[in-house]
Amino acid sequence: MLVKTLIAAAALAQAVQAHFTLNHPAWRGDSFEAPASQWLRPCAGINATNNRTEWPLDGGSISLKLGHAFDYVFVNLGLGAEAATFNISLTPNFFNSTGNGTLCIPKLPLPSTVTVTDGQLASLQIVAMGSAGNSMYNCADIVFRQTASLLSGDQCMNTTGSLSYVTSQGAVSADGKPGDKSSASVHGSPTHLMMAAFTIVMAMIVASGLL
pLDDT tens digit string along 40-55?
999 999 999 999 999 9
Q: pTM of the predicted model, to two decimals? A: 0.73
**pLDDT value at residue 37:** 95
**pLDDT value at residue 175:** 47
pLDDT tens digit string along 76-109?
999 999 998 999 999 887 777 777 788 899 999 9
- Three-state SS letters, 62-116: EEEEECCCEEEEEEEEEECCCCCCCCEECCCCCEEEECCEEEEEEEEECCCCCCC
The parent domain of residue 179 ranges over: 2-207
Average pLDDT, the chain: 75
pLDDT tens digit string along 132-184?
778 999 999 999 999 999 999 889 988 755 555 665 544 444 444 443 333 32
Domain count, the chain: 1
**pLDDT value at residue 17:** 41
| Residue 25 or 199, more confident | 25
- Give the list of residues 6+ apart from residue 101 with CB closer than 8 angstroms, or none: 65, 66, 158, 159, 162, 163
- Three-state SS letters, 134-201: CEEEEEEEEEECCCCCCCCCCCCCCCCCCCEEEECCEEECCCCCECCCCHHHHCCCHHHHHHHHHHHH
**pLDDT value at residue 186:** 30
Residue 207: CB atoms within 10 Å: 24
Share of the chain above pLDDT 90, in %: 47
Is the pLDDT assigned to residue 192 strictly greater than 60? Answer: no
For residues 94 and 118, give the distance between their C-alpha atoms in angstroms, rounded to a whole number: 27
Q: Assign residue 119 the CATH number of its domain.
A: 2.70.50
Is the pLDDT assigned to residue 23 strictly greater than 90? Answer: yes
Share of the chain above pLDDT 70, in %: 66
